[in-house]
A and B are shown apart, each in its own frame.
Chain A
């Protein structure tokens, strides 16, 4: 008989019986792919060192997750693209000139301490790549702030060092910055393309925006965090960023320099460490923007994106508790109680 169940063992599981095609691995690999344009630009400007440093980060991240899970007899998830992404992001956040033990140590801190010891993907409180970078910056402050001049010549290994635009802005002011880059338009175009000193993958704003557009189109990220983050930075830079008093700052310089684009689109939006509720994400973005500008304008570092995101990571669960989604039928229930 056609309906003989013995020849057709049936699967029994709870509803729903259909699911859409998204998966953690698909999301993670898409984010990795979206970082490709920025990575290509970094190789163009910083040469093979960009590949070596980032490659070491990725290799260490994937390998350490794999060995950790294997050693503890846990489910192996090292191929889901998440460890790869942590490595890639950390690599893109390092100066191109760091010695090779730096990416290895950073990746170990990011994956083993920040992610695996907290329970693995989904349980970490802080963005792993950023903790890795923060650890490196605090442990090797000198090595982590030596910036190579972009050469745009693939094999030019005699990388000269220079200061980042934000470094110049902090130490010597906007006038000096204009002198270095010529005029305002030239400065902007250098910042947009990525022809400036900085971390490997943070310099090309336009390449990062292309990647961000892919993620927004795929609905993997929404506007809430990046736009509130960037918006806050722009407004704060305009109001407080100028030497000539309030409302004289240049928001464009602040938007396009440092790790802001990379941070706002690719790291503050990390699902695990940002709020789940959209309203909360706006608060989170504003917080990130405010802390970033506080550090850039008043703090001891020229750049504040990393610490801003890490600090706001702490508040993500709290924010989620405060901004529950609007429940269906909730308003009328309250009225009834009265």
Chain B
């Protein structure tokens, strides 16, 4: 029996993972057209390297990094560039994007393989990761090579792979751990090598026993890797909560995991790292969970970056009558979509379609009755009740005194609020009005 680790507070929403957790990852149809945003990551948008009319192959660089915190972007299909313009993305911004029409051949550029990848130096590994355009695939999309290059004064002694997948509905990481556990472990070993770390952990929530078994057996020969079972609780997969659960270290307020010697990577990212370092394959596709009671056939699919949501949804049988909300990501932190003509990007972990019965209308909200439920669940130990009252009255500066900027918008407070207050909206509003 391994111990079940966790953090303080948090919530227990309905997980609804059974809709897709048993569905193997299947490849999506080759899209006829892709819209590839040049900014799918945190940091400077990539610089466009193609022009309209260019023929491109799968894996060819179409955008090069424009700074240290930036990432290259590759074509995910072979075909012809037919447009370069601003297109909407799933997070609601207009982003310069390259539109490529498929030639149906799916021809790839040649990738640089490294059969002896465990002999590469840390710098070679990081260069391969950078060239492959790998960013955090859990949603934040921070360039991975930057995360693997902490400053000298922040020594790293631990790498944690995040297999919590605490967002309800999503099963992409779950399926990857079940179907490709060896690749996950190899990815972790490469990350550890790039950081010169000899302690690696994989944390998985208890509700994925098949994933825990698969990963444990894949890691059984590795003395430096420990698999930890985590309590089923949201937001267990938040970096700070994960580090607390597994290493009992508290990332200081306004600090980063590297302040306590830890680097956290997502499961999908680990596999992408393995593929990039071993096979030279750039990040041009990812697993997307298409789920919810508003979609006819929930699935886990391997989708090319740039495929439109509408395209993916059609392949899952389309929307059911009474589908009311389409979300990019999970139900707790994902983004509601106003159009389905936005592309899947490197950070798209799921497409969730809620039906009328699942969707809780929250247009009407009431005054805070200070019941304290939000205080009891806030993983950061904040007082969301007080924050929301201050922000409602426009006292943004005072909200800072209540540690506004420690809020990472997990939505736990809004989830439990009986007055149905738009807590996350309040926090974002205040953050847009005062600097940290």
Contacts and interface: CB of A to CB of B under 8 A. Distances in A.
A326 B376 CA distance: 11
Contacts of A23: 418-420
A43 to B, nearest CB: 30
A122 B420 contact: no
B372 A277 contact: yes
B250 A332 contact: yes
A11 B359 contact: yes
Contacts of A175: none
A10 B366 contact: no
Contacts of A17: 325, 327, 331-332, 334, 336, 352, 354, 359-360
Contact of A329 (B11, B253, B323, B333): B253
Most buried by B among A11, A123, A278: A11
A119 B310 CA distance: 47
Contacts of A327: 253, 380-382, 403, 406
Interface string B345-356: 000000010100
B340 to A, nearest CB: 5
Most buried by A among B11, B326, B333, B366: B366
A274 B370 CA distance: 8
A55 B331 CA distance: 44
Nearest to B292: A17
Nearest to B313: A3
Contacts of B415: 16, 18-20
Nearest to B169: A18
B337 A20 contact: no
Interface string A1-18: 111010010111111111
Nearest to B255: A329
B367 A121 contact: yes
Contacts of B403: 327
Nearest to A120: B367
Nearest to A2: B318
B252 A336 contact: yes
B383 A277 contact: yes
Interface residues of A, number: 45
Contact of B414 (A16, A277, A320, A330): A16
Nearest to A224: B372
Given A15-B335, A17-B359, A276 B382 contact: no
Given A8-B323, A329-B240, A329-B255, A24 B331 contact: no
B202 to A, nearest CB: 23
A14 B415 CA distance: 12
A123 B366 CA distance: 11
A3 B318 contact: yes
A313 to B, nearest CB: 12
B424 A15 contact: yes
A26 B244 CA distance: 35
Interface string B230-253: 000000000010001000001111
Interface string A307-327: 000000000000010001111
A18 B415 CA distance: 7
Interface in A176-233: none
A329 B367 contact: no
A216 B230 CA distance: 28
Contact of B370 (A8, A13, A77, A271): A271
Per DSSP, chain A at the interface is loop
Interface in B378-425: 378-383, 385-386, 402-403, 406, 409, 411, 414-420, 422, 424-425
B336 A11 contact: yes
A88 B102 CA distance: 71
B139 to A, nearest CB: 11
B127 interface: no
Contacts of B340: 3, 5
A18 B358 contact: yes
A72 interface: no
Contacts of A3: 310, 313-314, 318-319, 340
B366 A122 contact: yes
Contact of B379 (A5, A324, A328, A332): A328
Given A18-B13, A329-B250, A332-B250, A272 B369 contact: yes
Contacts of B385: 276
A26 B416 CA distance: 13
A329 B251 contact: yes
Interface string A110-122: 0000000001111
Given A11-B325, A15-B409, A19-B360, A2 B313 contact: yes
A271 B369 contact: yes
Contacts of B196: none
Contacts of A325: 375, 378, 381-383
B419 A122 contact: yes
A34 to B, nearest CB: 16
Contacts of A121: 366-367, 369
Contacts of A26: 418
B424 A77 contact: no
Nearest to B376: A278
Contacts of A24: 366, 369, 418-419
B338 interface: yes
A13 B358 CA distance: 15
B184 to A, nearest CB: 28
Contacts of A19: 360, 362, 414-417, 420
A333 interface: yes
Interface string B161-182: 0000000100000000000000
A36 interface: no
A138 interface: no
Nearest to B380: A328
Nearest to B168: A18
Nearest to B339: A5
Contact of B317 (A2, A18, A271, A333): A2
Contacts of A272: 369-370
Contacts of B339: 5, 10
A332 B366 CA distance: 37
A123 B254 CA distance: 32
A172 interface: no
B428 interface: yes
B402 to A, nearest CB: 8
Interface of B: 8, 11, 13-14, 168, 240, 244, 250-255, 296, 310, 313-314, 317-319, 323-327, 331-340, 352, 354, 358-363, 366-373, 375-376, 378-383, 385-386, 402-403, 406, 409, 411, 414-420, 422, 424-425, 428
Given A19-B362, A22-B373, A122-B366, 7 more contacts: A12-B338, A18-B14, A120-B367, A123-B367, A325-B378, A328-B8, A329-B380
Interface of A: 1-3, 5, 8, 10-20, 22-24, 26-27, 77, 119-123, 271-272, 274, 276-278, 320, 324-333, 336
6 pairs of A and B residues whose beta carbons are closest in the complex: A2-B318, A122-B367, A16-B411, A332-B252, A276-B372, A327-B381
6 contacts: A12-B325, A12-B336, A12-B337, A18-B358, A23-B420, A24-B366
